[in-house]
Chains A and B, each alone.
Chain A
Amino acid sequence: MSRSLSTNVRRAVLVVFGLAWLFPTYLIIANAVRPAGDYDPSDAVKPPSSIGLFDNIAEAWDRTAIGDTLLSTLLYSVVSPALAVLMGALAGYAIVVLRLKHGFAWFVTIFAGTVVPFQMLLVPLFVGYSKVTLYDNHVGLIIIYSAINVPLAALVMRNFFGNVAVSIFEAARLDGASTFRIFWRIYLPLSAAALAAVFILEFTFVWNDLLFGLTLSQSQTVRPVWAELSALTTDVYAGTPVPIALAAGLVVSLPTVVLFLATQRLFTRGLTLAQF
């Protein structure tokens, strides 16, 4: 590949594409930084004449309780993907390495969890949760977020384990290791990077969820951040000035942006499906 296209042509194409991709991102940032009073939807490209970002953020903080929700959002975004990745890895291990009977059927059963339209789960989940006091409860949200994330974890881990040489497993078994010990001591460490990669994708998903957070909880200490933030971004009766909503959105996505940037290197090594 690299020989047919000169490196410079490749760079040029990437830069052109990249600039096109950056344009909407620029619009978000420019209008979040713009003082709310200067905002004009028909002139949104104009660079902000002064910095209103911090006033906008302060204003957003004033109107909502975003701050109160960050801790529980972090809890969900860390614990649920961690559980999901673990469950997915265990399932993938059973199917591919332990060669579970009807493995494909089991795999499809787990993967098909993503097929269900999530909106339809809200009403029955709320009814069920209210019966077992999981409504408005951190555990309740952790459980549903875990379940939602299991299929992706199972899909990736299944494919990953499939590429680890079988001889490793067999040798360890012959040395007398239990199947769990092999999972815990060999397969998990070998796939640490893949686990991390799935974790990051799922972290982003949970961090940005509005659907379940809004319906399955009510108090400020349980609701996730988007349940608060959506008051600024989607409520037509509010008439919230756009820069305030954008600034709040920008601040709230900061953790995921930082996570992505910080893990770029890990990520590209992450899902490395090399033969071991």
Chain B
Amino acid sequence: MVSTRLRVTALTAGAVLLAAGCGSGDSGGSKSELKLYNDKGAWKPYFEQMGALGKQQTGLDMTPVGYTDEPTYTAFIKTSFRTNVKPDLFTWSTGGRLEEIVKQNQVAETTKIWQDAIGSGDLTEDLKKYYTVGGKQYCVPLNTAYWGMFYNKKIFAKYDLKPPTTWAELEKTAQTLKSKGQVPFNQTTPTSLFSFAWFEQLLAGTDPDLYERLSKGQASYTDPGVVQVMERWKSMIDKGWFSKPGDKADPADHFKSGEAAMVINGTWFNTSMTQRGLKQGKDYGFFFVPNTNPALPKRSLVFESGPLCSLRKAPDAAASTKYLKWWITPAAQEKWANARGDVSGNPKVKNADPELTKVTEQAASDGNRLVLRYFEAAPSPVLTEALSGFDKFLNKPETYMDVLKSIQKVNEDYWKTHKAGS
């Protein structure tokens, strides 16, 4: 009997030992190599190119650790604060989600980096606002993207259309396309994630103040201004200006096959286009969407900027800070923008692609009013409800009031426990 027990124990122990022999253990140790945790797993090649250049210029090596599911990633990073597994660098989002981790006293301050960079012109005062919590700055921009309209040059040429500069022109363009049997706007897919695209564009282009108040809990989703925007959106859907929701394909596939005429998207969408062999300037173009309300003094320009952050208690805080400082230098930014084929947050950076340089320059113009993307502007519970709601609306436009009411209910509950306007 004893031998039985011994043998079972030995067997189990043996198996575990065998397995342990293969374990790698924690890497840890000296910090000449930084781990950059990110939720953009597919950007690995671009991070690796940055890693190579960074090593040359700073002596610090960097390896990306990619996640692909944003919710799991967010939970992981938040949880890591309570453990001894701390990322050296990590990507995050601006708005409420940055605020909440700063308030936990977790994020390393970058006020000095911002001061210097604004002095040297590597970062802008406009952008600083979104990296400021309680008067201090945190993180640096990993990337910046502007939202606008990608259009199919061949289709525009065929019907003799030009990128519109006013809302009336945009409507006319859509009408023309529709009358020729061409659906003007492709859905920004997947709609479960990007159903907000037209909501933010129409609201920011109609009443940017209301848009900002809405995201701070100072306005209601049933505000007449918001309702009006939904009605406009609905009338556009009713006119048949949008492709059917529920299509799972990347809009770039429809650009390639020549079915899609226009789609609203962030400039990072260039990656989808170029991976399919489409060229900006030749196959497709990009324009900023004109304001719906022509009386507004400035053009509302939706933008998103993803922060690259480090922790106060990072394994090697000095190394992390050094890397952040390097990330925003023109040399690093130029490499990043060209590797990604996207615009840079650094206005001094010249893209290899003149079309992108043009976008960067236009975006920096005084005639724009930057508006934070809805995805970052709305608090998580409200955003979650709104994404489902708008997706429902796309399928059943007549439900717009119900959708607004259900978002407002969550909005109210949220701001009851979180001070509005903070």
Contact = CB atoms under 8 A, between A and B. Distances in A.
Interface string B241-254: 00000011110111
A39 B253 contact: yes
Given A63-B44, A231-B44, A239 B272 contact: yes
Contacts of A40: 253, 256-257
A273 interface: no
Interface in A148-207: 178-181
Given A40-B256, A180-B8, A131 B72 contact: no
A236 B193 CA distance: 9
Given A37-B276, A40-B257, A135-B26, A235 B79 contact: no
B3 interface: yes
Nearest to A230: B68
Interface in B16-63: 16, 18-20, 22-27, 35, 37, 40-45
Contacts of B15: 79, 82-83, 86
A135 B249 CA distance: 36
B37 A218 contact: yes
- Most B Cβ at <10 Å: residue of A83, A138, A179, A237: A237
A123 B77 CA distance: 10
B41 A230 contact: yes
B103 to A, nearest CB: 20
A238 B75 contact: no
Given A40-B256, A138-B23, A139-B20, A218 B83 contact: no
A256 interface: no
B256 A137 contact: no
- Most B Cβ at <10 Å: residue of A36, A75, A135, A238: A238
Nearest to B272: A239
B85 interface: yes
- Most A Cβ at <10 Å: residue of B22, B42, B45, B256: B42
A234 interface: yes
A241 B275 contact: yes
Given A136-B26, A214-B72, A237 B253 contact: no
A90 interface: yes
B1 A136 contact: no
A138 B21 CA distance: 9
A261 to B, nearest CB: 28
B222 interface: no
Interface string A225-251: 000101110111111111000000000
B65 interface: yes
Contact of A239 (B3, B19, B250, B254): B250
Contacts, number: 144
B190 interface: yes
A237 B304 CA distance: 13
B79 A237 contact: no
B297 interface: no
A275 interface: no
B366 interface: no
A41 B272 CA distance: 15
Contacts of A230: 41, 68-69
A241 B276 contact: yes
B271 interface: yes
B347 interface: no
Contact of A127 (B23, B82, B250, B259): B82
B4 interface: yes
B72 A215 contact: yes
A42 B259 contact: yes
Contacts of B135: none
Contacts of A133: 25-26
B396 interface: no
Nearest to B270: A239
Nearest to A83: B15
B25 A238 contact: no
A203 B416 CA distance: 49
Contacts of A64: 44
A137 B24 contact: yes
A95 interface: no
Given A214-B69, A215-B72, A239-B275, A136 B27 contact: yes
A7 interface: no
B42 A180 contact: no
Given A219-B27, A239-B250, 8 more contacts: A40-B256, A83-B19, A136-B85, A138-B24, A178-B3, A180-B7, A214-B68, A240-B42
19 contacts: A41-B248, A41-B249, A83-B15, A122-B76, A123-B75, A126-B80, A133-B25, A136-B85, A139-B23, A143-B19, A178-B1, A180-B4, A180-B8, A215-B72, A218-B35, A218-B65, A219-B27, A238-B272, A242-B249
Q: Which 3 A-B pairs have the closest CB atoms?
A: A239-B272, A238-B42, A231-B41
